Amino acid sequence: MKEGKNSGIVSANLIIDKELSEKAEEILRERGYRWTGWDAVEAEELYRLLEEEVIPEFYTRDAAGIPHAWVTRMRASMMRLAPHFSTSRMMKEYVEKMCLPATASHKRRIGDDCRLARELHNWQSTLRQHWHGIHWGNLEVHEETDGWSFDVHVYLGGISPNFVQVQLFADPAGP
C-alpha cells in the first residue's frame, strides 16, 4: 500500500492512537467483521502513513500558513487520480461500453430487412402466448464422485425447445 510522497491519501484532521485503533477493531469484530492478517497490515500502514507523513505535512506551514509539502502531495494525487474520475473519461467509457454496442445491436436487428427484429418479436410473442403451459417436474439430485447431478423435467407446452435455455444456479451451503 505504501506509495511514498505521491500517495493518493487525502489528509484530514485525525487523531489516531493505539487505544482508539484497538477499540475500533473490537467493535468491528463484535459486528461480525473479520480482520485478516492482511487487513491488519494495511491498517497499520495507513496509520503509519497518516501519523508520520500526511498529518505532519498538513500541520507544517510556512509564515503565510501554507502547508507546502501537503499541497504538493495533494496536487500529485489529483494529477494521478483525476483522469480516472474525469467527465471526459466517463463519457468515453459510456460511448464505448453502452452507445457503440447498442448501435451495433440495433444495426444487427434492422439488417436484412429487419429479419432479426421480426424473429425476436415472434419469439417474444410465442413465449407470451404459451407461458402458462411451462411447468417443472420433480427435481432429482444425485451425489456423484466429482460433484452433483441434477435431473428435472421441464414441460414447455407449445414452446419449441429451441426457444429456451435451462440454467442451474447453485449457491454454496454454509457460512
Mind listing the pLDDT tens digit for each residue in 60-119?
999 999 999 999 999 998 888 887 778 888 899 999 999 999 999 999 889 999 999 999
What does the pLDDT read at residue 21?
Answer: 61
What does the pLDDT read at residue 33?
Answer: 66
CA-to-CA separations, 134 to 75, 138, 151, 152, 168, in angstroms, rounded: 61, 14, 17, 13, 17
pLDDT higher at 64 or 38: 64
- Please give the Cα distance from 163 to 69 (Å, whole number): 65
What does the pLDDT read at residue 129?
Answer: 93
Is a pLDDT exceeding 50 seen at residue 171?
Answer: yes
DSSP element (H, E) containing 147:
strand 147-155
In this prediction the pTM is 0.39
Paired residues of 150 in beta bridges: 141
Paired residues of 135 in beta bridges: 155
> Taking the C-alpha atoms of 47, 48, 49 and 54 in order, what is their torsion angle to the nearest 10 degrees?
80
Confidence tier at 165 by pLDDT (50, 70, 90): confident
Average pLDDT over the chain, rounded to whole?
80
What does the pLDDT read at residue 173?
Answer: 65
CA 22 to chain centroid, in Å, comes to 29
Is a pLDDT exceeding 80 seen at residue 145?
Answer: yes
Find the DSSP H helices in the chain. 18-30, 37-49, 55-59, 68-81, 87-94, 100-130
Taking alpha carbons only, the member of 10, 12, 14 closest to residue 78 is: 10
